[in-house]
Amino acid sequence: MDIENTAIGVIQDLQELAIQTSDEKGAQRVAWTPVWDKAEEWFKTKMIAEGAEISVDSAHNIWAKFSGESEEAIIIGSHLDSVPNGGWLDGALGVVAGMGIGKRYGMHGVKPKKTIYIVCWADEEGARFGQSCMGSAAVSGTFTAEQAKCLKDNEGIEFQEALQPYQLKAENFSMARREFLAKPIQAYLELHIEQAPVLENAGKSVACVYGVAGCYRQYITFKGQQAHSGSPITMRQDAFLAAAEASLAFRDIGIRHQAYCTVGKVTVHPDVVTIFPGLCTISLDQRAIEGDVLEQIVIEAKQAAEQAAKDNKVTVSFETIWQTPPTIFDKSLKALCQKAVTEETGEDTTMYSGPLHDAVEISKVVPSIMMFAMSVKGLSHCMEEDTPIPVLKQAIRAFLRLTDHVLKK
C-alpha cells in the first residue's frame, strides 16, 4: 500500500472511531470506562484482521505485533483514551497512524525488515483517576503500585476496584516494565496533534518535535484576614488580591523567559459576596524546555508571590504537587524525523512540546521521537479540536516516511 492510500485509510479509520466513540459533546473515550473499552476492542479487531498478534501487558497497554525479518523492533503508538467531551484526534491520531503502518505489511504478505509493534498506552489523560501517562509510566518505572493503590475517582471509587473488570491488579503494574524490556526494541515513534497554535501561526503543517518541556507544579496559599466588604481596601488583608497580583507577575515571568506560567485553579474562603477572602489558594504550572530556565522561573515565581503577600499584608506558603525535568529526544531519530518532514513539506520545521506525552516516559527506556500535526487555533481537549484533512494527510505521509527511514536504519 503506497503512502497516499495509507494516509487516506488512516483518516477514514479516525472518522470511524470518532463516530463510534463520540456524542454531540465530543469524544467520550475516558479510560477505564465502557466507551474506552469499545475503542480498544475496535483497535484489536482491526489489527487481528491484518494478521497482528495481540497481547496486553500488566498495565493494560495493548500491543499489536507484526513480525519482521528481524526480531529487532520499533514501536509506533499513542493513546486511545480521551478527556470527557474531547476531540477526535488527541491520542487517536498516533494509534491509528500506527494501524495504517501495520496495514502496509500485515495481510499484504510483505514482511518489514524489523518487527513492528503498534501500542495503545493505557490512560494517558488521567481524566478519571488524575494520574497522567499511567501505562507508559508503568513501563518507565515512574508509576508504582503504591501510587496506584492511592488513586480514587470523583465518586470515591478506588482504582483497584475499577481494575476488576479488566482482571488486573494495581500491584502488578510494575511488571509492565520487565515485559517491555524483554522486547528487543530500538525506537519509539509517536505522531500527535500539536495542541497549541504555534504551527498554525507560523503557517506550518508538520514539525519534528525534538523535546518536551519540563514542568514544576505547585499550590500557593495566601492567608490574610477575612472581613466585611465595606472595609476600606487599603486597610484589608485580602488574600485574593495578593493571589491576583502574584498571578499577573507569573504571566510576566513566563513572557520574559519565553516559558509557560499558568494559574489554572483558584479557591477562596469564605466564598461569600459580602466578604473579602482571608484565604486563597491558587495552582501554578510552570514549564520550560531548558532545565536552568525552569529552575529560574520557579525561583522568580516564589519571589513574586512573597512580594505580593507583603504588599497586601498577608502570608504565603508553597506546596509542590509534581515535577518532571525537560526531555530531549534521541539525536539520530531527530535527524531522521527532520529528514522526513523536509521531504514531505520542503521545510525543516522543528519545535518542542509544551504538553506532556507518553513519549516522555518511553524515552526513559528506549530512544524516542515525536512528530506534530498542526492544530486549528491550537484547540484541544474539546470537541472543537480539529486539523484540516489536507494537513492531516500531509502529517501522516511525513510520519510514514519517518517510519520507513527508521525501519531501514
- What are the tens digits of pLDDT across the range 287-315? 999 999 999 999 999 999 999 999 999 99
Cα–Cα distance measured from residue 321 to residue 32, given in angstroms and rounded to the nearest whole number: 24
The pLDDT of residue 304 is 98
Query: Could you give the dihedral angle defined by the CA atoms of residues 344, 346, 347 and 349, in that order, rounded to the nearest 10 degrees?
Result: 0
pLDDT at 1 over 80: no
Which residues belong to the annotated binding site for Zn(2+)? 79, 90, 125, 192, 381
CA distance 241 to 311: 10
pLDDT at 215: 96
Give the lowest-confidence range in 142-151, 252-261, 279-288. Answer: 142-151
Counts for the chain of helices (H) and strands (E), in that order:
13, 18
Per-residue model confidence (pLDDT) at position 85 = 98
Cβ–Cβ contacts within 10 Å for residue 381, how many?
Answer: 19
* 220-245: pLDDT as tens digits: 999 999 999 999 999 999 999 999 99
CB atoms under 10 Å from CB of 18, counted, come to: 16
Amino acid at residue number 210: Y
Return the pLDDT at 107.
Answer: 78
Pick one of 3.40.50.970, 3.40.630.10, 3.30.70.270, 3.40.630.30 as the CATH number of 3-212+326-408.
Answer: 3.40.630.10
**pLDDT exceeds cutoff 90 at 43:** yes
What's the predicted TM-score (pTM) here? 0.94
Pairwise CA distance, residues 286 & 283, whole Å: 10
Instruction: Kindly report, residue by residue over 393-408, the tens digit of the pLDDT.
Output: 999 999 999 999 999 9
Q: In this predicted structure, what is the pLDDT of residue 229?
A: 97
User: Environment class of residue 52 by beta-carbon count within 10 Å: exposed (0-12), middle (13-18) or buried (19+)?
Assistant: buried
Domain ranges of the chain: 3-212+326-408, 215-324
Average pLDDT, the chain: 96
Mean pLDDT of 304-331: 97
Whether 320 shows a pLDDT value over 90: the answer reads: yes
Q: Cis omega before residue 197 (within 30°)?
A: no
Residue 109 has pLDDT above 80, yes or no: no
Residue with cell 494516509: 7
Annotated binding residues, written as ranges, equal 79, 90, 125, 192, 381
Say yes or no to pLDDT of 108 above 90.
Answer: no
Q: Which of 104-113, 247-256, 279-288, 351-360 has the lowest average pLDDT?
A: 104-113
pLDDT at 80: 98
What is residue 145's predicted lDDT score, i.e. its pLDDT? 83
In a 3-state reduction of DSSP, which class is residue 354? coil
Cell triple for residue 153? 475517582
> H-helix or E-strand containing 292?
helix 291-311
Give the tens place of pLDDT for each residue, 15-38.
999 999 999 999 999 999 999 999
Does the domain at 215-324 match CATH 3.40.50.10540? Answer given as: no
Pairing of strands 185-193, 214-223: unpaired
pLDDT of residue 33: 97
DSSP state letter for 111: -
Q: Which amino acid is at 148?
A: A
